A and B are shown apart, each in its own frame.
Chain A
Amino acid sequence: ETGVTQTPRHLVMGMTNKKSLKCEQHLGHNAMYWYKQSAKKPLELMFVYNFKEQTENNSVPSRFSPECPNSSHLFLHLHTLQPEDSALYLCASSQVGGSGYNEQFFGPGTRLTVL
């Protein structure tokens, strides 16, 4: 186990549904990330939170809405998604600063299917 948990592991939703993905890290890190992993594409960074503040929004459509209530929890709220949003959504955390190198630890991901 990496110390990063994600729920649910699998999610099927219709295009009109609203759902949320949850991530929790038990590593005492100060930065958390959402990535999208689609087949035959590099991992796509979606959002970065550093000390609960969003520091990166990688041109993600507004139908994805992140929330970081504290440095241990990260949510991704989903609404009116499209079938092309079906993918594996990965959460990661790291300790930014200190040694200066960004070792990211990933959760197992949520496999999302949009019908």
Chain B
Amino acid sequence: GENVEQHPSTLSVQEGDSAVIKCTYSDSASNYFPWYKQELGKGPQLIIDIRSNVGEKKDQRIAVTLNKTAKHFSLHITETQPEDSAVYFCAASNGFGNEKLTFGTGTRLTIIP
């Protein structure tokens, strides 16, 4: 089955700086890679996703890159703000009707004002 590894487990960044979280996956058939943000007391919320037919996707201050050859993908947050403090999870799935998402272990991001 799929295995997703996520690093780092904790990350502290000065407000205004960039943050990068990296994930690797094992199943070369995986083709859908979402990122979730979980704030205290809430469930995970989808913030961005990427599909295997593109190498990069951007949405305002967040971007995700995918390297299918190396089987890794990364989340980039620029101009970080205090509200970016949360736990971030990456996941991978072999789409096209497959209901299963395999999640990484999460990264606790703290933005230092």
Contact = CB atoms under 8 A, between A and B. Distances in A.
B103 A102 contact: no
24 contacts: A2-B45, A4-B43, A6-B43, A31-B99, A33-B99, A41-B105, A42-B104, A45-B100, A45-B101, A48-B100, A56-B100, A92-B43, A96-B99, A100-B95, A101-B49, A102-B93, A102-B99, A102-B100, A103-B49, A106-B43, A106-B45, A107-B43, A108-B42, A109-B42
Given A42-B104, A108-B42, A50 B99 contact: yes
Nearest to A96: B99
B41 A108 contact: yes
B99 A101 contact: no
Nearest to A48: B99
A2 B89 contact: no
Interface of A: 2, 4, 6, 31, 33, 40-43, 45, 48, 50, 55-56, 90, 92, 94, 96-97, 100-109
A97 B95 CA distance: 9
Contacts of A90: 43-44
A105 B99 contact: no
Interface string B89-113: 1000101111111111110000000
Nearest to B6: A42
B43 A103 contact: no
A104 B101 contact: yes
Contacts of B96: 100-101
A104 B44 CA distance: 9
Interface string B49-83: 10100000000000000000000000000000000
